[in-house]
Structure 1
Amino acid sequence: MTPLITTPGVPEMILILLVLVLLFGAKKLPELARGSGRALRIFKAETKGLIDDDDDDQKTPEQRQIDAAAAREAEERRAREEHNGPTAG
C-alpha cells in the first residue's frame, strides 16, 4: 500500500512556485528571499554566540578584545556589501 502523503516532486514544486509568484509578484520574491536569508544569518550568529559564551569564561581579556574587533570588522564588511551590493571577483 502506498503512503497518502509523499515528498513533493518537481511538478509540485513548480506549482508552489507559480502560486508564490501569483501571490507576491515577481518583484517581491527576491526581497522575501533576502529577508529570510538575513533572518537565518542572525539566527545562526545568535546560536553560535550562545555556544561561544561558554568559551568566553576561559578566555583572557586580550583574546576577548581580539574577538570583539574581528566581529566588528566582519559586521562592517557585511554592512558595506549590503549597501554596495555584491562585488565581482
Structure 2
Amino acid sequence: MLNNLSGWHALVILAIVLLVFGSAKLPELARGLGQSVRILKDEVRDDASEEKAGVSVAPSSDEVAERRAS
C-alpha cells in the first residue's frame, strides 16, 4: 500500500497535516504519540515477563464466564 509513495507524496501529506493541525499542535501531537508508544512497549514487556514467570496473563474461560454473568 505504501510502497508507491515518493518524496513528493510525503511532502504533500506533510503539508496537509500541517494545514489541518497547525504548527502549534504538531509538537503536542508527536509527544502524545510518543507517550502512547512508550506505554504500549511497557505493557508488552510486562506481559512477556509475566509469561516467563509463569503468571497467567489471559483470564481463563471460567473467569470470563463469571465476569459476563455479573
TM (norm. structure 2) is 0.68
Between the aligned partners of 2:24 and 2:41, the Cα distance in structure 1 is: 27
Between the aligned partners of 1:20 and 1:9, the Cα distance in structure 2 is: 17
Percent identical residues: 34
Between the aligned partners of 2:4 and 2:48, the Cα distance in structure 1 is: 34
Residue type of the partner of 1:10?
Answer: G
RMSD: 1.6
**Equivalenced residues, count:** 53
Between the aligned partners of 1:47 and 1:22, the Cα distance in structure 2 is: 35
TM (norm. structure 1) is 0.55
2:37 counterpart residue number: 40
**More relative contact order in 1 or in 2 (CA 8 Å, sep 6+)?**
2
2:46 counterpart residue number: 49
How many angstroms does 1:7 deviate by? 2.5
Distance 1:6 1:51, change over 3 A: closer
How many angstroms does 1:6 deviate by? 4.4
Residue type of the partner of 2:30?
Answer: A
Between the aligned partners of 2:35 and 2:26, the Cα distance in structure 1 is: 14
Q: Secondary structure at the match of 1:26?
A: helix
In structure 1, the gaps of 5 or more residues are 58-89
